[in-house]
Amino acid sequence: MKKLLPATLLVGLIAIAAPFAVGQAPAAGEAAAATNAENENAGNLKGIDRLCVDVDAETNSLEEKTFIKTELADLMELELRRANIQYREAVFNQPELNFPRITVKARIERRTTGVNYTLSLKIFDHATIKRNGKSIVAETYSRTKVFSKGGDASPIVDVKQEIREMTRQFVEDYRTANPR
C-alpha cells in the first residue's frame, strides 16, 4: 500500500471539509451584490401596513411539528407586535383576504450526525405583471437560512432562535422601507 504524502493528505482533507466550512467571507463583489439584492428586497415592503401570518414545519415527528408550528406562530405574533406591525389572523374561508402574508417555514431533517435545518421567511403580496396587466400573488420578500448542528442539537430551541433573528432582520428592512 502506498503512503500518502502529508500535502496530498491535506489537500484531500480540505476538499472534504470545504463544503462544510462556515463563516467564510464573501468576495467584495459578492458582498456588494448581496447588499443590493437585500436593499431591493426590502424596498418591496414599502406601504405594507398589516400582515397575516402563516407558519409551517416539516419534521419526522408529528408532535414536534405541531409544537414548532405553535411556538413559531406565537413568536411571530410577539415579534410583529413588538415592532408595531399590525398582525392579522388568517381568514380561512376567504383566502383572498390573507394578503400581504408573511410565511415562515422550518424544515428539520434528523441525521445520524446531527440535524439539518432549512428556514425561510417570505412575504407574499398582490403584484401586477407589467407586460399584460395581470394581477397575481407573488413572493415579494425573502430570507432563507440553511445550517446544521451536531448531535446535541435542540430543534425547537435552534429554530426559535434563528427565526427570531430572521424576524429582527425583516423588521429592520420593514422600518427602512416604511420610516415613521
Question: pLDDT tens-digit profile of 51-79?
Answer: 999 999 999 888 889 999 999 999 999 99
Query: 17-47, pLDDT tens digit by residue?
Result: 333 333 333 444 444 444 444 556 777 899 8
The dihedral formed by the CA atoms of 160, 43, 137 and 109, expressed in degrees to the nearest 10? -30
DSSP state of 100: S
State the Cα–Cα distance between residues 46 and 73, nearest whole angstrom: 24
The C-alpha cell that represents 118 in the structure block: 432549512
Query: 76-97, pLDDT tens digit by residue?
Result: 999 999 999 998 878 888 888 8
How far lies 125's CA from each of 102, 137, 176, in Å? Answer: 9, 5, 19
Query: 117-172, pLDDT tens digit by residue?
Result: 999 999 999 889 999 999 999 999 999 999 999 877 788 899 999 999 999 999 99
E strands present in 22-89? 50-58, 86-88
Give the global pTM.
0.72
